[in-house]
Amino acid sequence: MRRIVLATRNGHKVRELQTILADLIDELDLEIVGLGEFPDLPDVVETGVTFAQNATLKAVAAAEATGLPALADDSGLAVNVLGGSPGVFSARWAGTHGQDRANLEVLLGQITDVPDEQRSAAFVCVAALALPGGTVVLRRGQMPGTLAREPRGDNGFGYDPILVVDGDTRTAAELTFEEKNAISHRGKAFRSLSADLRELLARS
């Protein structure tokens, strides 16, 4: 069994990726582990100003520190009328990292007067694969939609309760885990990366 490290200490994200890449894991006999398996490794400061930069920083650091192929991602909400913001600052849009409710309230306050037809937005994810030898591959995924005027749903986190998914009347937080996983920005990015992972592992 070949180990691949996902550059996160979030067990939920590790399990999510195991689900997204389930077929590839079975095909190549892979084991995906998180940074929790390497407690002495320092956390990487996300100093990039783009999703690609931050994903690369995390994947390269994990590959170099562990000697294993490493995966990482960076994601956020891009609102068209705000020029793509909050973008990489999505998790700290209200000023403090991880304050989901405050982030929602700040964002909704900023677009209160924006008409419904101009409230388009998308969750964006860039996934990175880094090999210890220095190879890096990036893939991008999006989940487009329109911003609701108030939060709905309890199944998601972050901005999920306000993004009404294109082709649906529900927000991302009203979808089941399986429904969201099938169309999510993270799912699309990592499924796209799976072909690169298969090719690069075959060579190494």
Q: Which residues are catalytic?
A: 74
Distance CA(13)–CA(19), nearest Å, equals 10
Phi, psi for residue 198 in degrees, rounded to 5: -60, -45
Q: Measured between alpha carbons, how far is residue 189 from residues 23, 67, 110, 113, 174 in Å? A: 15, 23, 29, 33, 22
Q: Measured between alpha carbons, how far is residue 167 from residues 15, 164, 183 in Å? A: 27, 9, 11
The single residue listed with the structure tokens 């320092």 is 42
The single residue listed with the structure tokens 């090999």 is 131
Contacts of 84 (CB under 8 A, 6+ apart): 78
**Dihedral sign for Cα atoms in the order 58, 62, 63, 64:** positive
CB distance 29 to 57 below 8 Å: no
